Amino acid sequence: MEMDQLVALCKRRGFLFQSSEIYGGLNGFWDYGPLGVLLKRNVKDAWWNDMVQAHNETIVPPGAPARYEMTGLDCTVIMHPQVWKCSGHYDLFHDFMVDCRESKRRYRYDHILGRYVAGLKHGEGGTAASRVRIFATTMETENTQDALEQAALKFFGLRKKDADSLEWDGEIRALSSLPGSGSTGGGAIGDILGNVLGPDAKHPGTLTPPREFNLMFKTVIGALGDDDDASFLRPETAQGIFVNFKNVCDSTRVRVPFGIAQIGKSFRNEITPRNFTFRSREFEQMEIEFFCRPDQSSEWYRYWRDRRFRWYIDMGLAGDRLRLREHDADELSHYSCGTADIEYRFPFLPPGEYGELEGIAHRGDFDLRSHMEGKLVRKGNELVLERDGAGQPKHRGSGKDLSYYDDLARERFVPHVIEPSAGADRATLAFLCEAYNIDTAPDEKGQPTERLFLKFHPRLAPIKAAVFPLVKKDGMPEIATEIYGELKKTFSCFYDDKGAVGRRYRRQDEIGTPYCITVDGQTLADETVTVRDRDTLQQWRVPKADLAAELRERLNGC
Ligand code: ATP
C-alpha cells in the first residue's frame, strides 16, 4: 500500500483532516473526522478497558509476578512550572535543529540523511574541472538513494544517463552520525558543514551548526503574566501521575504494586512534524505508571513489556510488521535498567525501518525522588541532586515525602516505576495501515473488480453494522429503520438506502464495517434478513428477532 492512498482515503471518508485546512492547514496538527473520532475512541476505550476496567485484582494474571491493582487519573495539561524543572524536561527535553541559509528551511539535525559522493565539477566561467567530494543530503526517507542521486546530478551539472560517473562512498547515514559531527550537535561540526550539500540547497556549506531547541510549548498564565509566570503545555501525561502519587495513595486503598493509568493530550513543538499523524505537535498518549517494590521491578518490567506487546497482536497488528525491540545499554536513559520499544513498520518508512508505537521503560525511583528532592543527575552509579555553581540545588523538589510505607512488610521505600507509554494517534495510524486491504470481488453485475476494504478488528471498527432496505418500497424501509433503531442501542450503526446495494456494500467495506444487514423480499415472507461478512463476503439469513444476539456474539461483546 502506498501511503498516499491511505491519506486520500482518510480524507475522502472522513477519518482525518488537516487542522484549519480552509486557511491552508497548520503543520503538525490533525483533526479526526466523523469516522476518525469513532476509530480513535475505540482504540482508547480498548486500551482503558483491557488495562484498567477489566483488570481483576483478585487473581494473579498470567505472567505477572503477583496480584496488582489498577486505577486512573485525568490531570491538567498545564502544571506548575517546577514540575518540568524537576522532571528534567526544562533542561533536557530538546532536539537539535539546523537552518539552511540558502533555502531558508529548517531541519531536525538527526533527520538529515546523506552519503558522500565525488564527481567532476566545472568551475565558474569555463575554468578547468576539478574533482569535488561532498556529502549530499536529503530528508526523503523513501527512495533515499534516488533523492541523493538527483541532488548530486544537479550539483555536478549531469544528466541522468551520466549517473555512472558519480562515485558514491560509504553508507547512507544521518548527518548527525558522521564522525566529528557529534550526535547531539557538539564536535568539530564546522569543519564538516563546509562540505555538506543541504537537502534543498544548490551549493555546499549553507547549513548552520546545529542549535538546541526545547520541544515544550511555552505559555503565560494570567492576564498580566510576564516571563516569570511562564508555564508549559505538558509534553507527556506521566508527570501528572507522579505528582499525584501521594494523593492517590491517601485517597484510595491501593497498595503497592499498583498502576495509575491516564489518557490525555500532550504537546511537543516538533521541529519537523511529518509522516501524517506519526509525528504531530498535538497528540494523545495512553500512559501507565506502575509502582512496585524495588526488588521486584525487573520482573514487573518484563511483565509489562510482554503484556503490552501482546495487546497490539490481539488488536490485529501481527506478522513481521510489528516487533519488540529491547534497547541496548548505551540507549538507556541515565535512570533506567531496561527499556523496550514496540515498533511498527509503517509504509512511509524506508525498507527495514520501524517507527515507535510505545515505549516500556523501567524508570527506577527517578521520578518520585526528583519530585521530592529536586532535579537529579547520575554520578557514577548514584543519582544525586544536581547543584549550581554556588552548590545550591539547581531545581528544588516539592520537599514532600513521596515514599511508601508497606505496613505488612513494615518497610518504607520509594517505589520503582515501570512506564508503558503509548501514543493513541500512532496506534490508530498503525491500525489504519494494517487494515488497508485490496482484493478482487464480484461487483453488482457479478464481474470481478478490485475491492478496497479496511479489515479492522471488530472492536476497533468505527461502525459495527450497516442496515439497508434492498429497495425503498414494499415496506422494506420501515422494517430496516426498526432494525436500525434496535441495533443502535447496542452498536454504532449506519443506515443507508441510497444506490445499488452492491455499491452500498462497497462503501461500508471502505470504512471497515464488519457486517451489513439487508432487508429484502424474503424478509417480508419469513422475517429473516441477509447478513454479509466484510472479510469473507459470505452471506446468510438470520431471523430478525435473533439478529442482535447473533451480532453480539460475532462481535465478541464489543
Ligand atoms: P520519538 O522518538 O518517535 O519522538 P519518543 O521516544 O520521544 O518518540 P516518548 O517520549 O517515549 O516518545 O512518548 C511515548 C509515546 O508517545 C510514543 O511511543 C509515541 O507513540 C507517542 N508520541 C511521542 N511523540 C509523538 C508525536 N510527536 N506525535 C505523535 N505521537 C507521539
For 142, how many CA atoms within 13 A lie in the half-sphere containing its CB? 10
8 Å CB contact between 136 and 155: yes
Residues 6 or more apart whose CB falls under 8 angstroms from that of 522 comprise 528, 530, 541
Residue 189 is predicted with a pLDDT of: 65
How many Å separate Cα 266 from the centre of its chain? 12
How far does residue 374's CA lie from ligand 1's centre (Å)?
Answer: 25
How many Å separate Cα 554 from the centre of its chain? 29
pLDDT per residue as tens digits for the range 159-186: 999 999 999 999 999 998 887 665 454 4
Q: Which of 47, 425, 428 is nearest to 261 (CA)?
A: 47
Task: Quote the CA–CA distance of 401 and 329 in Å, as a whole number.
Answer: 31
Q: Which of 254, 253, 279 is nearest to 266 (CA)?
A: 279
For a ligand 1 pocket test, name from 426, 428, 429 the mutation site with the most ligand atoms within 8 angstroms of its C-beta: 426
Omega before residue 257 within 30° of 0, cis: yes
Task: Quote the CA–CA distance of 73 and 216 in Å, as a whole number.
Answer: 22
How far does residue 44's CA lie from ligand 1's centre (Å)?
Answer: 16
* Parts of the chain with a pLDDT under 50: 183, 185-186
Residue 218 is predicted with a pLDDT of: 94
Q: Which ranges of 395-546 does DSSP label H, i.e. alpha helix? A: 424-435, 476-488, 501-511, 521-526
Task: Quote the CA–CA distance of 334 and 363 in Å, as a whole number.
Answer: 9
Question: Residues lining ligand 1, judged by CB closer than 6 Å?
Answer: 236, 268, 270, 279-280, 283, 285, 356-359, 421-423, 425-426
8 Å CB contact between 170 and 133: no
Atom of ligand 1 nearest to the CA of 355: 3
Question: Exposure string (b/e) for 276-286, b if CB count within 10 Å is 16 or more?
Answer: bbbbbbbbbbb
How far does residue 423's CA lie from ligand 1's centre (Å)?
Answer: 6
Of all protein residues, the one whose alpha carbon is nearest to atom 20 of ligand 1 is 423
Atom of ligand 1 nearest to the CA of 284: 30
Of all protein residues, the one whose alpha carbon is nearest to atom 1 of ligand 1 is 356
For a ligand 1 pocket test, name from 84, 233, 356, 357 the mutation site with the most ligand atoms within 8 angstroms of its C-beta: 356
Q: Which of 254, 250, 238, 264 is nearest to 368 (CA)?
A: 238
Element (H, E) at 303: helix 297-314
How far does residue 132's CA lie from ligand 1's centre (Å)?
Answer: 40
Residue 335 is predicted with a pLDDT of: 66
Of all protein residues, the one whose alpha carbon is nearest to atom 11 of ligand 1 is 359
Residue 331 is predicted with a pLDDT of: 74
How far does residue 430's CA lie from ligand 1's centre (Å)?
Answer: 14
Of all protein residues, the one whose alpha carbon is nearest to atom 27 of ligand 1 is 279
For a ligand 1 pocket test, name from 283, 286, 417, 418 the mutation site with the most ligand atoms within 8 angstroms of its C-beta: 283
Q: Is 90 helix (H, G, I), strand (E, B) or coil?
A: helix
Per-residue HEC secondary structure of 320-342 comes to: HHEEEEECCHHHCCCCCCEEEEE
8 Å CB contact between 148 and 136: yes
Atom of ligand 1 nearest to the CA of 358: 18
Q: Which contacts qualify for 488-491: CB closer than 8 Å, 24 or more apart? A: 490/548, 490/552, 491/464, 491/465, 491/551, 491/555
